[in-house]
């Protein structure tokens, strides 16, 4: 087995490196844009061939949801064209692909957790391009596994947990939306799930949903971040989405049903607050 991890310097990529170094020592190569720009079709093909890659885990993505509304071309290149390049390289070499997608492919008008067969209807540029990446991959490399996840955070990179801990230390009060509901998900848990898919004796292609268990609004999430992070001098005011205008529209309800990945690959989906506690403990140990 020779695994290529792309987007390896991102928050998921860095967590996945820890899992693969433990479970597949010496069997993975890690690239980010400086080593392998995924928008360069020929470079991707050459890299996969030259390194005899058997599995590609694509952790790269354009993830700046608001900026994507302006920066449409780059967002498309990274979330669609790069995925197409990976798919073409995989179909030519026979490499298997695990690709990461998002809850933002849904419009958020549901009243129960979305399953993999539910109708998609992205409401942002980011969500639209992520869906286009999914369809390109399925068309060109149908043997791929696509894992949709949501509200990712980790001790690395930019994420809501780190933003809120910073704002909590700088301000007396913050206003946070309480009518967008989802499942905060620790990138370390998703990395463990990807490790299980790679280790599995069966490879079952298709779309899967993976998040931590439980649900929260961004306001609930912030309350837990402050409590576990020991932030006490900043009050959190719950507000409706209309009082926090953003460039991109976000789904109101994007909880994902994770039964399929649990049944197929025997992965665990820890309760979100337990995983948040683990991440905050790691962040504190870095200070
Ligand atoms: N963050 C979240 O809340 C969620 C993320 N996802 C999906 O999960 C995946 C991983 O997300 P996350 O770890 O948070 O993302 P990050 O933004 O932390 O990391 C993405 C990485 O991809 C790199 N990258 C960007 N363009 C290219 C390129 N052309 N070639 C190679 N690498 C490139 C980025 O480099 P640079 O920083 O230099 O641009 C960055 O290191 C993405 O597909 C994302 O859409 C799904 C649901 C939730
Ligand atoms: C910073 C801040 C944000 N918010 C709101 C804005 C928004 O509606 C919500 C989330 O904010 P963010 O912009 O940090 O999160 P966002 O970038 O929308 O997060 C998304 O990222 C992409 C990559 C995904 O795939 C999604 O699953 C999801 O994780 O919180 C507040 O209400 N108050 C605040 O102080």
CATH number of the domain enclosing 261: 3.40.50.720
Report whether 93 contacts 49 (CB < 8 A): yes
Structure tokens at 214: 């439980």
Instruction: Identify the pLDDT of residue 221.
Output: 98
- Residue 246 counted as domain residue: no
Q: How far is the CA of 283 from the centre of ligand 1 (A)?
A: 20
Q: How far is the CA of 60 from the centre of ligand 1 (A)?
A: 4
pLDDT at 286: 87
Q: What is the pLDDT of residue 187?
A: 98
Range of the domain at 261: 3-150+185-212+255-270
From the CB of 177, is ligand 1 less than 6 Å away?
no
Q: Is 151 in the pocket of ligand 1 (CB under 6 A)?
A: yes
- Does residue 264 belong to any structural domain of this protein? yes
Q: Has residue 282 been placed in a domain?
A: no
139, part of any domain: yes
In a domain, 123, yes or no: yes
138's CB contacts (< 8 A; 6+ apart) are 144, 146
Closest CA to 83 of 120, 39, 45, 116: 39
Asked if 24 and 1 count as a contact pair (C-beta separation under 8 A), the reply is yes
Residues acting as catalytic residues? 126
Number of domains composing the chain: 1
Distance 216 CA to ligand 2 centre (A): 13
Please indicate, yes or no, if residue 120 is contained in any of the structural domains. yes
Ligand with an atom nearest the CA of residue 32: 1
Question: What is the DSSP track for 78-126?
Answer: IIIIHHHHHHHHHHHHT-EEEEEEEGGGS-S--SS-B-TTSPP---SHH
Q: How many angstroms does the Cα of residue 19 sit away from the middle of ligand 1?
A: 18
Mutate to test the pocket of ligand 1, among 152, 191, 258 (most ligand atoms within 8 A of CB): 152
Mean pLDDT in consecutive groups of 10 residues from the start of the chain, 287 residues: 98 98 98 98 98 98 98 98 98 98 98 97 98 98 98 96 97 98 98 98 96 98 98 96 98 98 97 98 90
Shortest-distance ligand to the CA of residue 10: 1
Residue 250 counted as domain residue: no
* Nearest C-alpha neighbor of 249 from the set 151, 96, 122, 134: 122
Q: Is the CB of 250 under 6 A from ligand 2?
A: yes
In a domain? residue 193 = yes
- 8 Å CB contact between 19 and 60: no
Note the pLDDT of residue 119.
98
Structure confidence at residue 257 (pLDDT): 98
Residue owning tokens 């665990």:
268
């Amino acid at each position: 087995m020779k695994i290529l991890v792309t987007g390896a310097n991102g928050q998921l990529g860095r967590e996945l490196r820890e899992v693969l170094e433990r479970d597949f020592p010496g069997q993975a190569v890690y690239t980010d844009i400086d080593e392998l720009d995924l928008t360069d079709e020929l470079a991707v093909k050459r890299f996969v061939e030259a390194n005899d890659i058997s599995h590609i885990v694509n952790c790269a993505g354009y993830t700046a949801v608001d900026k994507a509304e302006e920066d449409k071309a780059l967002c498309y290149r990274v979330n669609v064209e790069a995925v197409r390049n990976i798919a073409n390289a995989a179909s030519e070499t026979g490499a298997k692909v695990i690709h990461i997608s998002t809850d933002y492919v849904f419009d958020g008008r549901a009243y129960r957790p979305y399953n993999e067969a539910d109708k998609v209807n992205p409401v942002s540029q980011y969500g639209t391009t992520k869906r286009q990446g999914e369809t390109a991959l399925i068309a060109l490399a149908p043997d791929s596994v696509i894992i949709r996840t949501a509200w990712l955070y980790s001790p690395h990179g930019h994420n809501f947990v780190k933003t809120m801990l910073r704002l909590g230390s700088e301000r007396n009060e913050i206003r946070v939306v309480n009518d967008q509901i989802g499942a905060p998900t620790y990138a370390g848990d998703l990395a463990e799930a990807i490790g299980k898919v790679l280790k599995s004796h069966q490879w079952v292609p298709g779309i899967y949903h993976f998040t931590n268990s439980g649900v929260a609004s961004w306001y609930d999430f912030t309350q837990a971040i402050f409590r576990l992070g020991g932030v006490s001098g900043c009050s959190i005011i719950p507000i409706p989405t209309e009082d926090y205008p953003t460039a991109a529209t976000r789904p109101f309800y994007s909880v994902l049903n994770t039964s399929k990945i649990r049944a197929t690959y025997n992965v665990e989906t820890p309760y979100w607050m337990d995983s948040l506690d683990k991440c905050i403990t790691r962040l504190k140990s870095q200070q």
